Structure 1
Amino acid sequence: MNDLNLDDEIRQKIIEMMNQGSSTLEIYKKTCEILFFQHGIMPTPTRLYALVRKGSMTTPGKAIQEFLAQQREKGRIELDIPEMPESLKTMFTEALKETWRVASQISSTKVREQNEQHQRELNRFTQQIEQLDIKNQALESRIDEMKQILAERDIYVSALQKEVGEGKTKLSLESNRLAIATDQCEELKKQLDKARHDFIAESHRMSQEHEQGLARLKDHENRALMEIERERQAANKAIKDVTNALKLREDELRQRDNKFLELASELEVSGRDLSAAKTKLEMTTADLQTIRISFEEQTRLNGQLKARLEQLSARHNITHQKNSRRKTMKQSHD
């Protein structure tokens, strides 16, 4: 039966208890008994609340505590066998109580060691009882031998034999209870192993998801670094192009400056003969004016190129700062 059919069956029983007018706490306690005794499932507050869906979240916890207290109360053993030595009775009772406590502890390897120790104690007690049986048989033989002279003690001896038989019956019943408790302990250990296996599987799944998340983050970081590198290369290329253009402009200005100096030299030579070179001076003056206009235009273009170069440099610095911040964030995340 799968979990879904099992829950439906248990809910049907819960509905019947609700129709009978049972209290909420009593319904939770009976649900604990159904899970534990009929299906071998240790009840938990979450499982109980999911099945009953009534009352507050504290009610399932209280029901589980009372259920376990009832089971511990049922597990208390008191031996009342006449003629059994008090020391043996006390030791055997304490051993059986300790066995019940071990059955309640389901989460450590020490349970197996304690079970083995209790089994050795039980074997020792069984041997003592067998020795008592042997002594009892010897006593019965002695009674048979003295039957003629101690006829009045026959009733007492018969009663003693009956009590010994009842003691053996009680001992057998307690041994059966011990076997049942041992079986329950083994079943609880199996449930613990299953829960441990489920926990390990869930931990492995979460670890894989964490590794996949780290891989995706690494991929995003690599793509971002590649994009930053492309922007940096583009900025460097633009800066290089502007620098080359500026250099060309400076060469042209230098050439025109040289030409201006040559013209000035010619003007100085021509000044010696101003009258004869008036027409040539006017032409030279016009050329000089044209060169000055061109020089001013080149100066204006040079200023624009320098402004463009400063913008590209600022953009390059911003890109470099972004790259540094992303590397810092990546190192902090690692």
Structure 2
Amino acid sequence: MSDVLSDESRLAADIERLKVEFPKTRELYREVCALLFFRFGVAPTANRLYNLVRRGTMSTPASVLGEFWAELREKSRVRIEHPDLPTDLREVAGELIGTLWTRAIASAEAQLTALREEVEAAGREAEQKVVAAREELARTETALEQRTAALLAAQVEIRELERQQAEESATRKALEAQIKRLGDEAVARERELEKVRDTFSRDLEKLRETASRAEERLRATEKRALLEIDRERSAVAKAQKELTEAAKRADKREAEHRRTVDALQAQQGDARHQNGVLQGKLAALEAAHHSLQEQFKSLSTTARPTARRVSTAEAGPPARRVVRKAAVGKTARAKGRP
């Protein structure tokens, strides 16, 4: 197969060289005929010549080929012309040389036929190898196409994975930002809750101090009232009847005062109970800040009447003293009667 390809390549190279040397078409065809027949041992044909040269029309290589064969036959005839030889001898010698030439041509043609058959066999083998190579190439191309398709599919899958990874990364960043935002909000709410807790503690402490001061004032008022009652009893011994009446009125006022004190103590117990409830609600403030504010407003609303009642209780004893002083005045006036 390599020899056939080598002959074809040499033939193509020689024809290209002849195209440069013989620009005229007929001369080029004649030289190609001689090249095929004498150098490569191939009988030229019109189709082969036209396929090799590719110039003119199909009639040109046919005409040149006819001239080539006529010239070749003319040269194959041997004429022996010598003035000293007899005519018979010249004819016999010419026939002998012609016979030798014919036999040589036949032998050359036989060798050429054998060589052509060998070349054709090599060509068929080469064609079979080419067919096998083409089949192998087709299989390789099919496998390559399959691998290319698989590679494209893998690239598409890689792009899809990259896109999914980008989306997941964006989602992760968004979640991280949301978590950070929620953390900041939680910190802000914790700070606000601390402020509310401090405010509530201060308000609660104020309520406790107010209740303690009210209780102290209540005890002091009670002591002062008892002392005044003792002094009034010793000072108005002679006016027993009026004093008794005044004492009854004072006892009545005292009973009212004690009921007021009991009410205040009950309110103080309620305040302590509410304090415990508020401390329990304070723990719930961490989960429901809005509910704590509403409860704080409710507690403030409840604490205002308590403060008003405490102020009312503080204003009670002076009125009682005014009543008792009025009773003492009446007793003194009774002593001054004739």
**TM-score band, normalised by shorter chain:** 0.3 to 0.5
When the two structures are superposed, what TM-score results if normalisation uses the length of structure 2? Answer: 0.38
Which of 1 and 2 has greater Rg? 2
When the two structures are superposed, what TM-score results if normalisation uses the length of structure 1? Answer: 0.38
